[in-house]
């Protein structure tokens, strides 16, 4: 089996490198690529990417030609919507959170407008809720105000089961929620409090006590915003609507009952925002690949155990 990975920088930006292995990860080599941005969608269907990292573009011919969608929002032009949302006259930024697994023209996304707080200044302003477009990004409307828009660190997430698209999972205003009717109604997961509680910071108490002994006090107190749950990705096991993986700033969680209950998988040292995306082998759903900040981990038993598949700090690329 051949495995390809795309190399990214510390801020998630593409480094323009694609690596390939054909011997189970023992040797790797760099191959040419012209992909300069993240792309959503299968080949020859409607696909999407972000040009220069922010501008949403689409292609209807497998990536040969790209165009910018019209992007009307709630029946208004993007410019007018931005003004109504308290932003400047610039077109809002839309980040795709999910594509319908059976209709690539139906996409779900989060919206960000640019607001001016003073002459010559511009700050991003998140629009509450998740939006949906049924025509490949030309027209957008509110999908659910129960769901959050952008997560901290700029993630936009929604999980849709390819096996049964009526089954969805998202991050609600008060915690993780699931739907069995295509987003018409949402139900909170059972261990929501455990998922949402802020992560403890190693060494924080000791550092705080040392600072107080010197007569100082921290500018801000724990918990910080980024220690609360941030969802990076949802991934359903192929052929199943009840087995779901959830990548978060706290680690990789797994549910075997449609998202109602979750357990944290053992993937190594606990560090916030150390995980990237999880990929499930379509031919062997028990095989998972999980990206970290410097490694790719692999599991052959559906997440019970992980081992290092690729280590960027130790591996020398073969050209």
Three-state secondary-structure class, residue 188: strand
Number of domains comprising the chain: 2
Residue 188, in any domain of the structure: yes
Give the closest residue to 312 by CA, choosing from 22, 109, 30, 2: 30
235 with 243: CB under 8 angstroms? no
Which of 84, 116, 145 is the endpoint of a domain? Answer: 145
165 and 237 share a domain? yes
Same domain, 163 and 239: yes
Could you report the per-residue pLDDT of 8-43, keeping only the tens digit for each?
544 444 444 556 666 665 666 665 544 444 555 555
Cis peptide before 277 (omega within 30 of 0): no
Of 68, 112, 110, nearest to 88 (Cα)?
112
Residue 93: give the domain boundaries: 44-145
Residue 129 forms part of a structural domain: yes
Q: Give the CA radius of gyration of the chain.
A: 21
Q: Are residues 133 and 220 in the same domain?
A: no
Q: Which residue, of 87, 114, 145, is where some domain finishes?
A: 145
268 in the same domain as 167: yes
Beta bridge partners of 58: 48, 67
Residue 281 burial class via C-beta count within 10 angstroms: exposed 0-12, middle 13-18, buried 19 and up: middle
How much of the chain, in percent, has pLDDT values that exceed 70? 82
135 and 239 assigned to the same domain: no
Domain termination site, one of 145, 173, 188: 145
pLDDT band at 267; cut points 50, 70, 90:
very high
- Do 178 and 128 fall within a single domain? no
Whether residue 185 is contained in a domain is answered as yes
Angstrom distance (rounded) from CA 38 to CA 240: 26
Tell me: do 159 and 68 sit in the same domain.
no
118-124: Cβ within 8 A, 24+ apart: 122/88
Sheet holding 251-255, edge to edge: 231-236, 244-248, 251-255, 263-264
Band of the pLDDT at 238, cuts 50, 70, 90?
very high
Q: Rounded mean pLDDT of the chain?
A: 86
Q: Is the pLDDT of residue 262 over 50?
A: yes
Q: Does residue 232 sit within a domain?
A: yes
- The pLDDT tens digits of the residues spanning 65-114 come to 999 999 999 999 998 998 888 887 677 899 999 999 999 999 999 999 98
Any domain includes 72: yes
Q: Are residues 123 and 183 in the same domain?
A: no
Q: What is the mean pLDDT of residues 291-315?
A: 90
Give the sheet arrangement for strand 295-299, strand by strand: 275-280, 288-292, 295-299, 307-311
255, 185 Cβ separation under 8 angstroms = no
271-291 confidence digits (pLDDT tens): 999 999 999 999 999 999 999
Q: Which of 2-6, 162-166, 242-246 has the lowest mean pLDDT?
A: 2-6
One domain for residues 167 and 226: yes
What pLDDT score does 293 carry?
Answer: 87
Mean pLDDT of 158-172: 97
Q: Is the residue at 31 inside a domain?
A: no
Distance CA 238, CA 250 (A): 24
Whole-angstrom CA distances from 55 to 91, 95, 115, 263 are 10, 9, 17, 37
Reduce the DSSP state of residue 131 to 3 states and report it.
strand
| pTM, full prediction | 0.85
Q: Are residues 184 and 218 in the same domain?
A: yes
pLDDT in tens, 201-226: 988 888 888 888 888 888 888 888 89
Asked whether residue 160 falls in the same domain as residue 272, the answer is: yes
What six digits make up the tokens of 300? 């052959």
CA distance 243 to 262: 10
Would you say residue 11 lies in a domain?
A: no
If asked whether residues 209 and 135 sit together in one domain, one would say no
Q: Is residue 305 part of a domain?
A: no
């Amino acid at each position: 089996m051949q495995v390809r990975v795309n190399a990214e920088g510390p801020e998630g930006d593409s480094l323009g490198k694609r690596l390939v292995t054909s011997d189970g990860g023992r040797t790797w080599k760099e191959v040419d690529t012209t992909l300069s941005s993240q792309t959503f969608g299968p080949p020859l269907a409607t696909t999407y990417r972000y040009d220069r990292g922010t501008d949403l573009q689409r292609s209807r011919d497998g990536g040969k030609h790209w165009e910018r969608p019209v992007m009307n929002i709630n029946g208004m032009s993007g410019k007018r919507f931005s003004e109504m949302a308290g932003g400047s006259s610039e077109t809002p930024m839309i980040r795709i959170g999910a594509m319908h697994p059976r209709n690539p023209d139906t996409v779900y996304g989060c919206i960000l407008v640019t607001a001016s707080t003073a002459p010559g200044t511009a700050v991003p302003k998140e629009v509450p809720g998740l939006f949906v477009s049924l025509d490949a990004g030309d027209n957008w409307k509110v999908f659910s105000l129960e769901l959050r828009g952008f997560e901290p660190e700029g993630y936009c997430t929604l999980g849709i089961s390819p096996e049964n698209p009526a089954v969805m999972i998202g991050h609600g205003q008060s915690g993780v929620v699931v739907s069995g009717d295509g987003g018409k109604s949402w139900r909170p997961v059972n261990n929501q409090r455990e998922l949402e509680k802020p992560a403890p910071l190693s060494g924080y108490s000791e550092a705080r006590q040392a600072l107080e002994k010197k007569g100082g006090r921290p500018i801000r107190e724990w918990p910080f915003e980024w220690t609360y749950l941030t969802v990076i990705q949802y991934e359903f096991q192929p052929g199943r609507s009840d087995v779901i993986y959830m990548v978060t700033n706290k680690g990789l969680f797994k549910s075997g009952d449609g998202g109602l209950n979750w357990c944290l998988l053992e993937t190594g040292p606990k560090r916030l925002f150390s995980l990237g995306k999880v990929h499930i082998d379509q031919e062997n759903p028990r095989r998972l690949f999980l990206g970290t900040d410097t490694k790719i981990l692999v599991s052959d038993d559906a997440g019970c155990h992980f081992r290092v598949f690729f280590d960027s700090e130790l591996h020398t690329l073969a050209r």
